[in-house]
Amino acid sequence: MTDATAQGSAPGGRRIDSDAFRSRLATRRRKGAILKYSGLIAICIALAILGTLLFSIVSQGWQGFLRTNVELEITYNEEIIGGDAEDIPSGAFQEIARNGLQKALGLPPEAEDYDPSDLNALISSGVRYDLQQAVRDEPELIGRTAQLSVPVSSTMDMAYKGKLNLDVDEGRRQLSNQQLEWFNQLQDDGRLHSEFYWGLFSNSDSRSPELAGLWAGIVGSFVMIGIVAAFAFPIAVAAAVYLEEFAPKNRWTELVEVNINNLAAVPSIIFGLLGLAVFLNTLGFPRSSPLAGGAVLVLMTLPIIIIAARSALRSVPPSYRDGALMLGASRNQAVMKTVLPTALPGMLTGTIIGLAQALGETAPLLLIGMQAFVAAPPEGINDTATAIPVQIYLWANAPERGFAEKTQAAIMVLLMFLLIMNATAIILRNRFQKRA
Amino acid sequence: MTDTTTEMDGNVAELRNTVRDPKGQGDPKSYRISKDGETTRHEDAAWADKDLKMYTRDVHVHYGDNHAIKGVSVDVRPNEVLALMGPSGCGKSTFLRCLNRMNDPVPNARIDGTIALEGENIYDKDYDVVMVRLRIGMVAQAPNPFPKSIYENIAFGPRLHGLTDGKEELDEVVENSLRRAGLWEEVKDQLHQPGTNLSGGQQQRLCIARAIANEPEVILMDEPCSSLDPVSTNTIEELIMELKKSFTVVIVTHDMQQAERVSDRVAYFHLGDLVEVGPTNAVIRDAQDQRTKEYVSGHIG
Amino acid sequence: MALQLTTLALFLIAITGFVMTRRRALAQGDGTRRNLHSQPKYHGYFVFLATLLPGLVFLGIFLLFKTPVVNWLTMNQLPAELRNQGSGALSLLFSRIEQHAAGGQTFGELPEGAQGAADFLAMARRAATWAIIPFALFPAALGFWFAQSRVQPTFRARNATEKIVRGLMIVCATLAVLTTFGIVMSVLFEAIRFFRMEPISEFLFSLEWNPGTAIREGQAAGADQGSFGIAPLFLGTLLIATIAMATAVPLGLLSAIYLAELAKPRVRKILKPMLEVLAGIPTVVYGVFAALTVSPFIINLGTSMGFDVGAKVALAAGIVMGFMLIPFISSLSDDAITAVPDKLRNGAYSMGATHGETITRVVLPAALPGLVGAVLLAVSRAIGETMIVLLAAGLRANLTFNPLDTTTTVTVQIANLLTGDQRFDSAKTLSAFALGLVLFLVTLALNVGALKFQQRYQEKYD
């Protein structure tokens, strides 16, 4: 304790009474305020980005849920379509639809000063198939006249939604002068209406934006999510329980741990390479099938769920375990009867978040062939399929203008599914936390 | 000890004038009665007219609805070791943390009453909390060296407050502080090793040295030995005896023997009340209050 | 059909085994459980697992290897001179054999000797459909018989069952290692084939990337085979990742500091979930945002300011990637900061440090390993991110570091090379796997580095 004799003459002395110290203190306070406000600004920027992102999606995408229809008086003219309802070429229905348009526009039945295909291009190419199907379902329609509301073509749709610049020269416009005149006439007559486009959910992909929908993608995505849930959840829980409760601490388990943590951060496209080389080329899984996609997503989601499940297990108080062991339960019984049920909600939360991530995954699916155009939902796990995010990617790259709003609308649908899943996870977590 | 205080004689009047006391309970003399309210105060004639380093008047602390400190008034005299003693949960640590405003960041904590350092209310709006903590240093219960080198740990305060000019002066302060904490000989060859590599007792002395480097007037210690082995405890206790030559020390302890060994006076707390205060010997050997008696005789633990 | 039947049969046998065995065990113990080492239900579980597991394992093996084995056997049916042609021609021949075997539309006649293979394939496929039943049920029956025979009062059925369950769990945990092994094997294998065609030195040091078209071996040999220098791709990846990190690190870190240290608990409770929303958005959505919203904005802005702007700017992809990484960095940094023990904060306060100084001089340095780990993981994600760059960055490899220019990245090239025509004997297709190998190794190094930092951090404060 002799050290303490060197006391007293601290060079700092009473320097803290000086003005220099006070001004220094003011500077220090200012620096603190700068830090605080930079933090606040940073988080405001982050939220502004979120806002901009959502705003750009909604503002560009809300019209994707709408489709423009035109009111036409359609006469199922027997002369054109003949008598046999089963065997009518769709071209005949195109003529019927055109006649309806001519009537609506007050044009003579025989085209003289215009190209009939210009007229055909006003309404959706899907109309003739709809009419064909209607006659097939109901042959007595032949010869009758009906008021119908049929979808217009994508260009007309864009024009009606105000997304085409109609004030430019004819050469730079997608509608000819003639067509523009017809468009204006139809609009002035009040024959054009916007309707909610249910086809976005019930139709599958199409080359025509006004007919394209997400049904095939929705089915494909949820078949794959089902595969992921069925395989990844039990395997991940088993792996997590083993690693957390039973595994000895040795080099091997350490390797497994590093592995799992690394896998959770491996770029998703690498999993695509794995799927291509192993599942498609070696094991012969069918290309673009939900089976192959699901298998890749299972491997991708596994580490995420394992990590979440382990942290759920770790948050179970050791006293639960010890209590069961003290009552003579085996290690297995203690885990199965006390630890696992307590950790289960946490594991489920992690699983749902993992599934939500899998639902949004795109890159690996492209590599196993899902960039292909698929116009029907898969009929089995070996069938060709697509997924919602893949659909978004394809539509974003499609040259037709009408796909731009469809892309954003599809994003809204995808985000809605994710929102539902995440909300479920949060509700689960909150209930769990309240009980614990 | 008396020689350090005689020069302060006659300062009481000045003290009274400088106190900015919102509740008007400024007369410290009125608290030197043997028994006021619920606090038993042992007469201590030798100190009757001496100046005070710190004084507290009618301090209340609320944590939300929890009334943790219920009207405590106690003086701290210069260059004394005052031990705050009592069973766990009695509020002694809470009270200690009030002395350098460490309760400030605690959400929904409310502190009422007066706490003054050399006659200035440290809870005054104009009193910068940095100044408070610079003048009143603190050593925590468990050693909490920063995850930096030993040198950087000591230099932390001087650098922060600009107390030194240049590297040489800083080196000097570091060495001095370590010497006064009795750690210099042990660590002088590893100044640039992490402070967290030291043993528990050494870490605690490092924390004391760190506090000394700021040249505070008062050092608060919150059960500084509770996580240490007996040998380290002994070293720290000896250190405290040395420290009071240049500093005023307020130490929280629940260990009566420790209080007896290191402190000049003892304040005994019980469930948020200050029960009894006075010279260590008087409180421990001649406790007046029933609760103090029980604690001293080992009935309350 | 046969698959569903087999699965159903497996479960039925296993459940029957469970019920029967439980009853028999109870009978052997003279009706009381006390005479048995294990409860009757454990005897039941034991038989259940011993029946089901071998059945399912063989079922899985059969499903996994049915196609490759059948195909291999079919190829063996071919006469030697047909088998000894290039692998490209061989795969073409095989797909024609498949068409013949399926009996659908065929394009022309099969070469001499291949008809036998087609007949064999048709036969093998029919056989394989039903062969699954004995293949899966026989092992199951064997397991059933074996387990049944062990049911005795002294048999430690519970321990045996627990051992089986433990084994199953180990298999599940090992799957992660198998996945890594599979990744390494599949990428390495094809990459080695690539390096046989293109020297590794050219891959690493050539300054030009232009894979050309996928040309089958022997077809138009000597034509432009393309050049495979990874440098421009690497530079492009680096450029975009740098822009992303420059955006994300300051914003993410400051947000985390604000949320963890400065915000009131109530504010934190509102803001943190909002950032998590940003983290939950799929990357394809960010990609569309980059391509349809941010890109046009930057191009217009750049052009109006008189810069020479490419059609697809690296800046747009980089910035949006940064947006994506903000919540990622913020949440990892938040974890690292909140893990700093309060005693250090108190230590700093009691030394007279202000709130800001406590953060910058004590909390952040203490959290540094965790923060470095977070940034490394973010870099790894930036380098491996595909969808944003696929939508917003270009395809043309450009040896440039100009953020307003068009660049491409490693991931874009992998996706692009493998979504068009694929020929697994052309250097073009295989080069994707070489790129994948590089990508895997780089991200592996970053991930393991990040893990090491975080581990060191956890050890310090746990």
Q: Is residue A288 part of a domain?
A: yes
Q: Is residue A38 part of a domain?
A: no
The CATH number covering residue C286 comes to 1.10.3720.10
Partners of B36 in the beta sheet? B39
Secondary structure in 3-state letters for chain B: CHHHHHCCCCCHHHHHHHCCCCCCCCCHHHHCCCEECCEEECCCHHHCCCCCCEEEEEEEEEECCEEEEEEEEEEECCCCEEEEECCCCCCHHHHHHHHCCCCCCCCCEEEEEEEEECCEECCCCCCCHHHHHHHEEEECCCCCCCCCEHHHHHHHHHHHHCCCCHHHHHHHHHHHHHHHCCCHHHHCCCCCCEHHHCCHHHHHHHHHHHHHCCCCCEEEEECCCCCCCHHHHHHHHHHHHHHCCCCEEEEEECCHHHHHHHCCEEEEEECCEEEEEEEHHHHHHCCCCHHHHHHHCCCCC
φ, ψ at B214 (rounded to 5°) = -80, -5
Distance in angstroms (rounded) separating the CA atoms of residues A48 and C326: 12
Q: Is residue B301 part of a domain?
A: no
Q: Is residue A34 part of a domain?
A: no
Partners of B117 in the beta sheet? B54, B120
- Domain holding B148, by residue range, is 2-296
Same domain, C157 and C239: no
The yes-or-no verdict on residue B48 having pLDDT over 50 is: no
Among A128, A162, A196, residue at a domain's last position: A196
Q: Is residue B279 part of a domain?
A: yes
Q: How many B/C residue pairs have CB atoms within 8 Å?
A: 62
Q: Is residue C216 part of a domain?
A: no
Same domain, C285 and C347: yes
Distance of residue B149 Cα from the nearest chain C Cα, in angstroms: 12
Q: Where are the alpha helices (DSSP H) in C339-426?
A: 342-350, 355-357, 364-384, 387-392, 410-419
Q: Which of B93, B138, B196, B221 to mutate to test the interface with C (most CBs of C within 10 A)?
A: B138
Partners of B274 in the beta sheet? B269
The CATH number covering residue A400 comes to 1.10.3720.10
Determine the average pLDDT of the residues in B44-72. Answer: 78
Number of structural domains chain C divides into: 2
Contacts of B13 by beta carbon, 8 Å cutoff, 6+ apart: none
Q: Which residue has the higher pLDDT, B40 or A181?
A: A181
- Judge whether A330 is closer than 8 Å to chain C, CB to CB: yes
Same domain, A412 and A303: yes
Same domain, C175 and C307: no
The yes-or-no verdict on residue A13 having pLDDT over 60 is: no
User: Encoding tokens for residue C435?
Assistant: 């790129």
Q: Is residue B214 part of a domain?
A: yes
pLDDT of C88 reads 66
pLDDT of A175 reads 85
- Domain holding C362, by residue range, is 227-461
With a cut of 70, list the residues of chain C below it in pLDDT. 1, 29-36, 86-88, 104-109, 112, 212-225, 421-422, 459-462
pLDDT of C246 reads 96
φ, ψ at B213 (rounded to 5°) = -55, -25
**Chain C, nearest residue to A26 by Cα:** C354
pLDDT of A14 reads 56
The yes-or-no verdict on residue A73 having pLDDT over 50 is: yes
Distance in angstroms (rounded) separating the CA atoms of residues B214 and B212: 5
How many CB atoms neighbour CB C207 within 10 A? 12
Strand-by-strand arrangement of the B109-117 sheet: B66-76, B54-63, B109-117, B120-121
Same domain, A184 and A231: no
Q: Is residue B213 part of a domain?
A: yes
Q: Is residue A23 part of a domain?
A: no
Distance in angstroms (rounded) separating the CA atoms of residues A213 and C6: 38
Please name the amino acid found at residue C347: G
pLDDT of B146 reads 92
Query: Given an 8 Å threshold on Cβ–Cβ distance, is B135 in contact with A16?
Result: yes
Same domain, A270 and A356: yes
Please name the amino acid found at residue A264: A
Same domain, A405 and A358: yes
pLDDT digits (tens, 9 = 90+) for C110-164: 776 777 788 888 888 888 878 888 888 888 888 888 888 877 777 788 888 888 8
Same domain, A357 and A251: yes
Query: Given an 8 Å threshold on Cβ–Cβ distance, is C285 in contact with A274?
Result: no
pLDDT digits (tens, 9 = 90+) for A370-405: 888 888 888 888 888 999 999 999 999 988 888 999
**Chain C, nearest residue to A404 by Cα:** C292
Least confident of A106-120, A157-171, A335-349, C186-200: A106-120
User: Encoding tokens for residue A60?
Assistant: 């560009």
Distance in angstroms (rounded) separating the CA atoms of residues C361 and B192: 17
Q: Is residue C220 part of a domain?
A: no
Q: Is residue C185 part of a domain?
A: yes
% of chain C beyond a pLDDT of 70: 91
Q: Is residue C198 part of a domain?
A: no
Q: Is residue C283 part of a domain?
A: yes
Residues of B engaging C, defined by a Cβ cutoff of 8 Å: 100, 102, 105, 107, 130-131, 133-134, 137-140, 142, 144-148, 156-157, 160-161, 207, 210-211, 214, 220
Same domain, A155 and A236: no
Same domain, A261 and A120: no
pLDDT digits (tens, 9 = 90+) for A242-281: 998 888 888 888 888 889 999 999 999 999 999 999 998 8
pLDDT digits (tens, 9 = 90+) for B181-191: 889 999 999 99
pLDDT of A395 reads 94
Q: Is residue A13 part of a domain?
A: no
Q: Is residue C208 part of a domain?
A: no
Among C141, C172, C193, residue at a domain's last position: C193
Same domain, A241 and A360: yes
The CATH number covering residue B29 comes to 3.40.50.300
Among C167, C193, C219, residue at a domain's last position: C193
- CB contacts of C293 in chain A (<8 Å) are 52, 56, 60
Q: Which of C387, C389, C453 to mutate to test the interface with A (most CBs of A within 10 A)?
A: C387
- Judge whether A144 is closer than 8 Å to chain C, CB to CB: no
pLDDT of B287 reads 82
Number of structural domains chain A divides into: 2
In three-state secondary structure terms, A111 is: coil
Same domain, A222 and A190: no
- Domain holding A424, by residue range, is 215-435
pLDDT of A162 reads 86
pLDDT of C1 reads 66
Which residues 60-89 in chain A show a CB within 8 A of chain C? 60
Please name the amino acid found at residue A15: R
The yes-or-no verdict on residue A20 having pLDDT over 80 is: yes
- Which residue in A270, A302, A393 is closest to C176 by CB distance? A302
Chains contacting C (3 or more CB pairs within 8 Å): A, B
Q: Is residue C215 part of a domain?
A: no
pLDDT of A409 reads 95
% of chain A beyond a pLDDT of 70: 94
- Judge whether A408 is closer than 8 Å to chain C, CB to CB: yes
pLDDT of B29 reads 38
Comparing CA positions, the residue from C431, B264, C227 lying closest to residue A273 is C431
Which residues 9-38 in chain A show a CB within 8 A of chain B? 10-13, 15-16, 20-21, 24-25, 28
pLDDT of B22 reads 38
pLDDT digits (tens, 9 = 90+) for B205-232: 999 999 999 999 999 999 998 888 899 8
The yes-or-no verdict on residue A203 having pLDDT over 50 is: yes
pLDDT of C162 reads 84
% of chain A beyond a pLDDT of 90: 40
Which residues 316-355 in chain C show a CB within 8 A of chain B? 341, 343-344, 346-355
- CB contacts of B182 in chain A (<8 Å) are 1, 3-4
Same domain, A398 and A260: yes
pLDDT of C283 reads 95
Query: Given an 8 Å threshold on Cβ–Cβ distance, is C170 in contact with A414?
Result: no
pLDDT of C5 reads 85
**Chain A, nearest residue to B173 by Cα:** A10
Highest mean pLDDT among A392-396, B69-73, B114-118, C278-282: A392-396
For C283-295, b where at least 16 C-beta lie within 10 A, e where not — what string?
bbbbbbbbbbbbb
pLDDT of B299 reads 63
User: Encoding tokens for residue C92?
Assistant: 């073409």
